Amino acid sequence: MNYRNEIQRPDGFYQSNTAEDAPSIAVMIPCLNEEMTVARVVADFRAALPSAKIVICDNASTDATATMAREAGAEVIHEAMPGKGNAIRRLFSDIDADIYVMVDGDATYEASLAPELVEYLLEHRLDMVCAKRVASADAAYRKGHVLGNRIFTALVATVFGRRFEDILTGYRVFSRRFVKSFPILSEGFEIETELTIHALELNMPVAEIASAYIERPVGSDSKLNTFSDGLKITKLIVKLIKDERPMTFFGWLFLLFATTSIILAIPLAVTYFETGLVPRLPTAVLSSASMVLSFLMLACGFILDSVTRGRRERKRIAYLSIAGPAAIDARRT
């Protein structure tokens, strides 16, 4: 045996137990006016992951969020552009680690679950593990948010595949290759949807683990607007369907225009066979135009599907060029 600081594994091999071989972990907390809760969140994750680097992104707060976070022992960076997506983009860009934990700064997520999420990601060599929210109280998870989440989750599952039950959770663990290969385009709360679809689009190994969703402390208000942010998420999903599944998007448009054309043409055809005349010329023109448009949509779908396939291959190559969780295991053996 080599007399370094080693432990013997069940398979008989020895594994280094030095701090240098342990994966580096970063806890990323985007915050907007969370002075009431941020210190508690930092303390809870410091207790759950003692060796982790905890970084707060102060997203143009107007209160003492940055001061409270810094006093609690967190590193603070600032992002002037408002929006959770902008804060996450800054965190993904500036932080270097093997494992990334993303969580909101409102003290609604279970910090004690973090070691389990990290260990599950490493053990199963995954790129993302999501904490599926289970409300601990009725007030913790508003009914409007629950309904919206179910609708969005069902829509994403229909197009990209059903692998998640909660696509909008803000508590996730990522591998380095996920973070460094993800081109964030979202600016606001639609970032969670974009993260989910990115993983589904590239068929990444992912998982979901149930987590308690805790009611916000009294006096702490949610920044999520049910209707305006719901509309932004809807627009993002439609845009991503168009960009990543063009055959599906333009196929629906093909069916819409073709069906409209046929419905308009049926009474015209009946009249023509009965009288030999086409008395409603504008309707005939509209029917013909709708059919022409339907085949234009179909042609767009075929062309863009080929373009999207090439772009997806390039994204996959960029993703695979970065070491994944398996490299961490190799480093520790």
Of 305, 88, 319, give the one whose Cα is nearest residue 198: 319
Please list the alpha-helical segments (H only) found in the chain.
Answer: 38-48, 65-71, 84-94, 114-123, 143-160, 176-180, 191-201, 226-244, 246-275, 281-320, 325-332
Q: What is the DSSP string of 13-24?
A: -EEE--GGGSPP
Entry pTM? 0.81
Instruction: Provide the residue-wise pLDDT of the chain in tens; the chain has 333 residues.
Output: 333 334 444 443 334 444 556 899 999 999 999 999 999 999 999 999 999 999 999 998 999 999 999 999 999 999 999 999 999 999 999 999 999 999 999 999 999 999 999 999 999 999 999 999 987 655 455 566 677 788 888 889 888 988 999 999 999 999 999 999 998 888 888 899 999 999 999 999 999 999 988 887 766 666 666 677 778 888 889 988 999 999 999 999 999 999 999 999 999 888 888 888 878 888 999 999 999 999 999 999 999 999 999 999 999 999 999 988 888 876 666
Residue showing tokens 């905890």: 54
Cα dihedral value 132, 113, 54, 184, nearest 10: -20
The CA distance from 213 to 222, in Å, is 14
Does residue 206 sit in helix, strand or coil? strand
Residue 214 contacts residue 30 (beta carbons within 8 Å): no
**Does an H or E element contain 49, and which?**
none
Give the type of residue at 86.
N
143-160 helix and 191-201 helix, angle to the nearest 10 degrees: 20
Residue 211 contacts residue 132 (beta carbons within 8 Å): yes
Residue showing tokens 């396939």: 309
* DSSP letter assigned to residue 11: T
Task: Return the structure tokens found at 293.
Answer: 């448009």
226-244 helix and 281-320 helix, angle to the nearest 10 degrees: 90
Give the type of residue at 15.
Q
* DSSP letter assigned to residue 162: S
The CA distance from 207 to 21, in Å, is 25
Does residue 247 sit in helix, strand or coil? helix
Report the DSSP pairing between strands 172-175 and 75-78. unpaired
